[in-house]
Amino acid sequence: MASSETIYRVLRHEILSLELLPGQRIGEEILAERFGVSRTPVRMAISRLAAERLVTVAPRKGTFVAKIDFAYSRQLAFLRTAVEQRLLTELCQDCDPVWISRLEKNLDQQCELLAGDFQPMQFYRLDNQFHEIYFAAGQMAAVWKILQQFHVHYTRLRVMDTRISGCSRQFYDEHCRIVAMLRDGDADGVTSLIAWHLEGPLQRVRKFLDAQTVLQSTCQEMLHRNE
């Protein structure tokens, strides 16, 4: 029998990886049956997910996977960009071979993953670890943890971007350039690159969704004309 902790972790992973899609209904009764438990642990798990803004509970309607909040995600990307630009500038002044080698090892893992079949969430984990390494190098591990606590909408947006654009290889290439710039002490170059690296996904996903909306609207107009 699954505990509320297990249910929470499974659902959280499925939401972040987009196995459960934004706006999708997740019923307590169905979840209770799925995990072989009563509704009590399910409600406890849902309460935690709601506190993280990953689900919304509508009275008399049910529980739904929260839609991705673009305005909120943009603010998170803005905050993270500002922090990483400052951090990377400082690291350019003190390029320690020890943590550079850790970044390169992470890049090797990314390259190996890209050579085979993989899920977007698998690459995202390595992507996250890459950034975490240089936060630790700059003695900013606590800042990293704070950022991650509010990063759920941005995580889903990054996974969506990877699925839509298939740009994992692009992220890997940008990571390689970041390491090269850190090694060369190119503060101007790395601050410019990290801004695009972190904020680019919002622009790409927004452009894709806007295009889908226009396409749907155009199709509806064509159908009306043919009636």
For residue 59, pLDDT beyond 90: no
pLDDT digits (tens, 9 = 90+) for 93-139: 988 899 999 999 999 999 999 999 888 888 989 999 999 999 999 99
pLDDT digits (tens, 9 = 90+) for 60-90: 888 999 888 888 888 988 999 999 999 999 9
State CA 104 to chain mean position distance: 22
Task: Give CA separation, 132 vs 68, 107, 125, in Å.
Answer: 24, 13, 10
- For the residues 155-183, what does the mean pLDDT come to? 89
Q: CA-CA distance, 34 to 28, in Å (whole number)?
A: 10
Q: What is the DSSP string of 149-218?
A: HT-HHHHHHHHHHHHHH--HHHHHHHHHHHHHHHHHT-HHHHHHHHHHHHHHHHHHHHHHHHHHHHHHHH
The pLDDT, as a whole number, for residue 102 is 96
Q: How confident is the model at residue 212 (pLDDT cuts 50, 70, 90)?
A: low
The pLDDT, as a whole number, for residue 213 is 52
Q: CA-CA distance, 71 to 64, in Å (whole number)?
A: 19
Assess contact for 8 and 49: CB atoms under 8 A.
yes
For residue 218, pLDDT beyond 50: no
For residue 219, pLDDT beyond 60: no
Structure tokens at 131: 């950034």
pLDDT digits (tens, 9 = 90+) for 10-44: 999 899 888 898 889 998 888 989 999 998 999 99
Q: Give the chain's mean pLDDT.
A: 86
Please tell me whether the overall predicted TM-score, pTM, comes out greater than 0.85 for this model.
Answer: no
At which residue do the structure tokens 């064509």 appear?
Answer: 222
Q: What is the DSSP string of 2-57?
A: --HHHHHHHHHHHHHTTSSPTT-B--HHHHHHHHTS-HHHHHHHHHHHHHTTSEEE
Q: CA-CA distance, 227 to 208, in Å (whole number)?
A: 29
- pLDDT > 90: what percent of the chain? 50
Which stretch of DSSP H or E encloses residue 144? Answer: helix 141-149
> Which domains occur in the chain, in start order?
4-65 (1.10.10.10), 70-214 (1.20.120.530)
The pLDDT, as a whole number, for residue 211 is 57
